A and B are shown apart, each in its own frame.
Chain A
Amino acid sequence: MAANRPSRASLWIAGLATAALLGLAAPLAAVLGVLLAPTIGTAILDRSQGKGTARITGLFGLAAAAHPAYRLLNGSADWAMAIDQATDPTTLVTAWASQGLGAILAEIAPLLVRAALDSRSRRHAENLHAARQALEAEWGVPPAGQPPL
C-alpha cells in the first residue's frame, strides 16, 4: 500500500537525523542502539507494509529508553556513562521487555478487534435473517435462493 510505504523524504530525514545523532551525540546513539536493538531487529524482520509491528515496538522501546537517555544527557554524556547505562541489566531488561510487550500488543490487538467486528457482523446477520423470515411469513416472500412466485 502506497500510503504505508515510507516516502523518500522521510527516509532522508530519518537518515539525516540518525547521522546527526551519531555525529553530535554518539554516546546517546550507542545507548539508544543497544536499548532499541529488538526494534531494530523487528524492523529488519517485519515484511508487512508500513512495518506496523516495528513501529509499535519502537514506540514502546522509546518510552522505556526515555529515562536512561534523559539521565545520560543530564549527566556527563560521555562514553563511560553511556556504557554504564547500556550495560545496566535493569535498564536493558526494562527496555527490551517493553519492546516485547509492544510486539505482543501489535500481534494480539488485530485478533481482538477482528473478534469484536465478527461478533457485531454475526448479530447483524441474525437480525437480517429474522427480518426476512418475518417478511416470508407475512407476505409470502419466497425463501432466499428460491425464484420469486
Chain B
Amino acid sequence: MPAFDFDPSSGHGAADIPAKPEWSIGGLYTVHADQPLGPIGGLPAFAATDISRRRTGLIAIPCLAHLPPRSLALTMLENTPVEGMMCPIAHGPALGPDGLPAMFIIHQSPGDTAAGTAPWRDTDLIATLLRPAAAALDRLQSLGLTHRAIRADNLFRGRHGDAVVLGPAWSAPPGYFQPALYEPPCMAMCHPAGRGDGHIADDVYALGITLVVLALGHDPLAGMSDDAIIRRKLEIGSFAAVTGDARLPTAIADLARGMLAEDPDHRPTPAMLANPSAARSRRVAARPPRRAQRSLQLGGHPVWTARNLAHALCTAPDQGIRLLHDGSIDRWLRRSLGDPALAVRLEECMRRRGTTPGHDPRAEKLLLLRAVTLLDPLAPLSWGGLALWPDGIGTLLAATVADPPAQQAALREIVESEAQFAWASMQEARVDAMRARLESHRQLMWLRQRGWGGGLPRLRYALNPLLPCASPTLAGHLVTRIDDLLPALDKMAAGANASLSGPIDAQIGAFMTARHEHRIDADLLTLADAKDPARSALIQLRLLARLQRHLHQDPMPALASWLAARATPLLLTRQNRTKRGAALAELQTLALKGDLLAIQNLIDDPSGQATDTDGAALAKLRALEIDGELADLSTQGDARAQIARTWAQELAMSAGYVLLAALVAAAVLA
C-alpha cells in the first residue's frame, strides 16, 4: 500500500488540536491518541482504525523526527507482507502526540508480548519461535531485506502456544533499539543509528541470542555495560560470552553455537534453521581467537586478542595511534600475541600509508582505519572514535544532526576522505570494493556540490528518502516527499510566517535537489549567492514554478502572492509606464490564480526586458533630438527674418517682371 498524503481536511494546525485526540492518515486511518498501547518495538504505540474497511485492531507507531524510517522495507513489505512478523500496512503523516505532524506506520495489532520471566522449553522455542522466525527471515532474505530488531522484548503472540511474531522494526534505522547483547560485536560497537541494513546473518545472530535469553529466562549479561559486553564477546567469542557457565538445553546450545558464530559466513542461513535437526548437526570449524600471553593496556582496559585490539583502537584512537607509531603494538603482536605475520602486515600497511605523527590528522585516521580493519577483518568502518557500517552513514547523518558538530565533522571527513572505499578495499572478500568506490564517489560529489544543492544537507536527504525537511520555514509541517513541499509552503505563506525573507532556504534547497530528479543545482548555486532580494525571489519563483509544472500540482495562490510581492521590484524596473502598469495588474491576477509558471513567465521575460530597455534608450534619444530641435527653433528668429526678406524680394521681383512683361506686351499690341 502506498504512502499517504497528510489530509488537510482532517488535520489540524499545531494550535488547533481537537478536543478528542484523533488523527487521520490520508483520511484512511485514524490514530486514537486516547488509546496508548505502551511501547512496541522501542517506540510508543497507539490504537488505530482502518476507516475505509471499518477494521479495528490496528496499531500506529510514530517515527522520531530525526530518525528516518526504513523506506525500502516499508515500500516492499506494504506490497508484499511476510508472515511471521509485524509488517507495515501503510505509512503517512498525521498529527503526533505533541500536536505536530509525525510519520506514523500502521501495523496489525500483534497480540501480547511473548517473552516472560519463566524459561521456555526447548521444544516451545523451536516450534513457536525458531521455525516461524526462520521462515520469516528466509522470506525477508528473498526480498533483499533484513529485520534487525529481533530481541526477546520485541516478540508477540496471540496466546500461549501460538507461533511467535517478530515485532516491528521499520520506524527507526536498522538495529537502532537493539542492545549490544543482541548485536554481533562488529555491529554493537557502531553508533546505534549507523549500523546499516546489515545482513540476514545478523538477524540469525540476534535470533540465536533470543533463543539463549528465552531458554535461560533472563538476560545472561544483565548489569554489564555495552562496552563490556562487546569486549567480552570479542575476547572469548559470542557464544561463550553469552552462555558462560549457564546450563542450556542441548538442542538450544547446539543451535546457538552455530548462530552466534563470529564470522557471519559460518552462521546457518534461515533456510537451514527451518530444519533445526540439520542445523544442529552442522559444524563449521572456526579457530578460537589467539590469546596473548600478556595483555596490552589500551583505552583503560587490558587487550588480549587482535580483535580486542581493533576495538580498543576504535574506542581510544588517540592513544592507539601513539602506540602504533611508537611500535608498542608491533612488539605486542610479535612477542605477546605471537602473530608475527599479522605484525608484518600491519608494519607494511604503516610503511605504505605511513605519516609523520601528528602531521596530518586525517591521514592518521585513515591509517587507524586500515589498522583496525587489518586486525579485525569483521570490524566496521572506524574514524576517530566513531564506528559505523558504511551503508549506515545516511541514517547516522540524520540522527546526529542535533548532536555536537564533531559528529557531523567526522562524517564529513569520512566522505571527503573516501574512507568507505579505503575500508572496502581491505575487505574485498566480503565487500564489493568497486560498488563501494562508486557510492563513495557519488557521496563525495554531493558533498562537494557548491551552493544550497550540496553539502551535508544534500547527503542527508539523498541518503534518507523518508527524512522530513528540517527547514525552519516548514515548522509545523511534515514534508517528506517532494509532492508535499509546495502545499506546505502554500499553507505557510498564508500564515503568519509569510513575512520571512523567502520560501527556499538551504534546507529546502538540499531537500529539493535530493528529491527532485530534474537538475536545479545551478539555480540553487545562484540563489545561495544572490544578494538582491528581488533577484532571489525570481530564482525561487523559477524553482518552485518548475516544480509545480513537473508535479502537475494545484494552484498555490498564497505562495504565488508571496513570491509575486517579493519579485515585484523586478517589474518596477520596466521603464515603459503603460506596459509596467499592465504587467503589475496582470501579476496580481496571476497571483490570485496561483499559477507560478505564468508569474515566472511574466517577470522573467528577457526579450520583453530587452525591448523595454531598447525602447527607453530610443525614447531618451528622441527626447534629446526634440530638445535640440526646440533649441534650434528658439534661436532661428534672425535666420527666419533673413529668409523672409529674401523670399519677399524674390516674390516682389517676380511680380514686377510679370507686370513688366504684361505691360510691354500690352503696349506693343495696343
**A and B associate:** yes
Chain A residues within 8 Å of B, Cβ to Cβ: 50, 52, 55-56, 59-60, 62-64, 66-67, 69-71, 102, 105-106, 109-114, 116-118, 121, 124-125, 128-129, 131-132, 135-141, 144, 148
Across the A-B interface, the 9 shortest Cβ-Cβ residue pairs: A59-B656, A109-B648, A114-B644, A110-B648, A139-B619, A113-B644, A63-B660, A70-B667, A67-B667
B652:A67 contact, CB within 8 angstroms: no
Given contacts A114-B645, A116-B644, 7 further A-B contacts (CB under 8 A): A52-B645, A52-B649, A105-B655, A109-B649, A114-B641, A131-B626, A132-B627
Q: Is there contact, CB below 8 Å, between B616 and A139?
A: yes
Report the separation of the CA atoms of residues A59 and B651 in the bound assembly, to the nearest whole angstrom: 12
The answer to whether B660 and A67 touch across the interface, beta carbons within 8 angstroms, is no
Whether the Cβ atoms of B645 and A110 lie closer than 8 Å is: yes
B623 located at the interface, meaning its Cβ lies under 8 Å from any Cβ of chain A in the complex:
yes
**Given A67-B670, A113-B647, A125-B630, does the pair A106, B620 have CB atoms closer than 8 Å?**
no
A134 to chain B, nearest CB (A): 9
Contact check, B670 vs A109: say whether CB atoms are below 8 A apart: no
Determine whether the beta carbon of A106 is less than 8 Å from that of B649. Answer: yes
27 CB contacts below 8 A, A to B, read A52-B653, A56-B652, A56-B656, A59-B659, A60-B656, A60-B659, A63-B656, A66-B667, A67-B667, A70-B667, A102-B656, A106-B652, A109-B652, A110-B649, A113-B643, A113-B647, A114-B644, A117-B640, A128-B626, A128-B629, A128-B630, A132-B626, A135-B622, A135-B626, A139-B575, A139-B619, A144-B630
In the assembled complex, which residues on chain A have CB atoms less than 8 Å from the CB atom of B577? 137-140
Give chain A residues whose Cβ lies under 8 Å from the Cβ of B653: 52, 55-56, 59
**B622, B656, B660, B663: residue with the most chain A Cβ atoms closer than 10 Å:** B656
> Are the C-beta atoms of B649 and A56 separated by less than 8 Å?
yes
Tell me if B277 counts as interface (CB < 8 A to partner A). Answer: no
Contacts of A139 in B (CB 8 A): 575-577, 615-616, 619-620
- Are A144 and B627 CB-contacts (below 8 A) given A63-B659, A70-B668? yes
Chain B residues with CB below 8 A from A118, complex form: 640
Contact of B663 among A63, A114, A121, A135 (CB under 8 A): A63
Inter-subunit contact B644/A117 (CB<8 Å): yes
Q: A62 CA to B670 CA in the complex, in Å? A: 17
**CB nearest neighbor in A for B643:** A117
Closest Cβ of chain B to A64, distance in Å, is 7
Q: Kindly provide the distance from the CB of B457 to the nearest chain A CB, expressed in whole angstroms.
A: 43
B402 within 8 A of A: no
Contact across chains for A62 and B619 when beta carbons are under 8 A apart: no
Distance of B664 from chain A, by nearest CB (Å)? 5
**Contact call B644/A67, Cβ cutoff below 8 A:** no
Q: A67 touching B649 by the CB < 8 A rule?
A: no
Docked-complex contact A135 and B656, CB < 8 angstroms: no
A132 to B623, CA, bound (A): 6
Which residues from chain A contact B582 at a C-beta distance below 8 Å?
none
Residues of A near B664 (CB, < 8 A) are 63, 66, 70
Chain A residues near B651: list those with CB within 8 A: 109, 113
Interface string of B369-394 (1 = CB under 8 A from A): 00000000000000000000000000
Cβ of A67 and Cβ of B575 under 8 Å apart? no
Which of chain A's residues have a CB closer than 8 A to the CB of B619? 135, 138-139, 141
CA distance A55 to B655 in the complex (A): 12
Q: How many angstroms from the CA of A132 to the CA of B631 in the assembled complex?
A: 13
> In angstroms, how far is the closest chain B Cβ from the Cβ of A83?
20
Which A residues touch B666, using CB under 8 A?
66-67
- Residues on A with C-beta less than 8 A from B622 are 131, 135
Please, how many angstroms separate the alpha-carbon atoms of A130 and B379 in the complex? 88
Q: Are A141 and B620 in contact (CB under 8 A)?
A: yes
Task: State A60–B666 Cα separation when bound (angstroms).
Answer: 15
Looking at A62, A109, A111, A131, which has the most chain B CB atoms within 10 Å of its CB?
A109
Q: Is the CB of B620 within 8 A of A129?
A: no
Q: Who on chain A is nearest to B660 by CB?
A: A63
Query: Total interface residues on B, using CB and 8 Å?
Result: 39
A122 to chain B, nearest CB (A): 8
Least Cβ–Cβ distance between B593 and chain A, in angstroms: 29
Q: Quick check: A138 and B578 within 8 Å, CB to CB?
A: yes
Contact yes or no, A140 B649, CB < 8 A: no
Chain A residues whose CB sits within 8 angstroms of the CB of B640 once the complex forms: 114, 117-118, 121
Report the minimal beta-carbon distance from A90 to chain B, rounded to whole angstroms: 15
Q: Which of B578, B629, B640, B649 is most buried by chain A, counting CB atoms within 10 A of its CB?
A: B649
Enumerate chain A residues within 8 angstroms of B660, measured Cβ to Cβ. 59, 62-63, 66
Bound form: Cα–Cα A102–B655 in Å: 9
Task: Tell me the bound Cα distance from A116 to B623 in angstroms.
Answer: 27
| Interfacial chain A residues near B623, Cβ < 8 Å | 132, 135-136, 141, 144
Q: How far is the CB of B582 from chain A (nearest CB, A)?
A: 13
Q: Which of B578, B615, B626, B648 contacts A112 (CB 8 A)?
A: B648
Residue of B nearest to A71 (CB): B667
The chain B residue sitting closest to A117, CB to CB, is B640
Asked whether, in the complex, the Cβ of A67 is within 8 Å of the Cβ of B630, the reply is no
Chain A nearest CB from B20 CB (Å) reads: 62
A124 CB to nearest B CB, Å: 7
Q: Does B286 contact A (CB under 8 A)?
A: no
Contacts of A55 in B (CB 8 A): 649, 653
**Alpha-carbon gap, A118 to B638, bound state (A):** 11
B275 within 8 A of A: no
CB distance from B616 to the nearest CB of A (A): 5
B residues 292-339 near A (Cβ < 8 Å) are: none
Q: Which residue of B lies closest to A141 (CB)?
A: B623
Q: What's the minimum C-beta distance from B645 to chain A, rounded to whole angstroms?
A: 4
A129 CA / B619 CA spacing, docked (Å): 14
Inter-subunit contact A121/B636 (CB<8 Å): yes
Tell me which residues across on chain A come within 8 A of B645, comparing CB atoms: 52, 110, 113-114
Query: Chain A residues with Cβ under 8 A from B659's Cβ?
Result: 59-60, 63
A66: contacting residue among B643, B644, B663, CB under 8 A: B663
Distance in angstroms from A70 CB to nearest chain B CB is 4
Indicate if the CB atoms of B630 and A129 lie closer than 8 Å. yes
Q: A66-B664, A139-B615 are in contact. Are A148 and B620 (CB under 8 A)?
A: yes
Across the two chains, which residue of chain B brings its CB closest to A105?
A: B652
A111 to B626, CA, bound (A): 28
Question: Which of B575, B636, B643, B670 contacts A140 (CB under 8 A)?
Answer: B575
Chain B residues near A71: list those with CB within 8 A: 667
Return chain B residues, CB-CB under 8 Å to A131.
622, 626
Bound: A114/B72 CA distance, A: 96
From the candidates B576, B644, B663, B668, name the one contacting A138 in the complex (CB within 8 A): B576
A33 and B645 alpha carbons, distance in the complex (Å)? 28
CA distance A129 to B576 in the complex (A): 19
Q: Tell me the minimal C-beta distance from A42 to chain B in angstroms.
A: 13
| Minimum Cβ distance to chain B for residue A6 (Å) | 15
Nearest residue (CB) in B for A148 is B620
Nearest CB in chain B to that of A116: its residue: B644
Q: How far is the CB of B619 from chain A (nearest CB, A)?
A: 4
Shortest B580–chain A CB gap in Å is 9
User: Once the chains bind, are A110 and B644 in contact (CB under 8 Å)?
Assistant: yes
Residues of B within 8 A of A112 (CB): 648
- A102 — which chain B residues lie within 8 A by C-beta? 652, 656
